[in-house]
């Protein structure tokens, strides 16, 4: 399970069985929404403060983002992916 830590500027991976944080990645910019694309093993994380979307490799222990989509919107919120149609849907706040 991936959790955005808005106030801490990080994203944590939590073991669903034990509820223990196994990894934490520093992103800055107030992470808000997280979605995991099971098809591509990517975690998509919106940053409320930076207006960006970070892409992380979800198949390995988390590391700094593999890619960051530059700010093209002011306040991204929740996020969901639709791999079969290659869509990235954002809810704006």
Q: Where are the domains of the chain?
A: 2-92
Q: Taking 80 as the threshold, does the pLDDT of residue 83 lie above it?
A: no
**E strand spans, the chain:** 2-5, 10-14, 21-26, 31-37, 42-47, 52-57, 67-69, 76-82, 87-92
CATH of domain 2-92: 2.40.10
| Lowest mean pLDDT, pick from 19-23, 67-71, 84-88 | 84-88
Confidence bin at 86 (pLDDT 50/70/90) = very low
Nearest 5°: phi and psi at 17? -85, -40
Question: Tell me: the pLDDT tens digits for 2-60?
Answer: 899 999 999 998 888 999 999 899 988 888 888 888 888 888 888 888 888 888 888 87
The predicted pLDDT at position 41 comes to 86
The predicted pLDDT at position 85 comes to 45
The predicted pLDDT at position 9 comes to 92
């Amino acid at each position: 399970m991936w959790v955005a830590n808005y106030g801490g500027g990080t994203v944590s991976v939590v073991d669903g069985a034990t509820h223990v944080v196994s990894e934490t990645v520093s992103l800055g910019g107030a992470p808000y929404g997280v979605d995991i694309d099971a098809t591509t093993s990517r975690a998509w994380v919106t940053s409320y403060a930076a207006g960006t979307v970070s892409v992380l490799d979800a198949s390995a222990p988390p590391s700094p983002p593999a890619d960051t989509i530059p700010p093209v919107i002011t306040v991204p919120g929740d996020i969901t992916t639709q791999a079969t149609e290659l869509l990235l849907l954002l809810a704006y706040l």
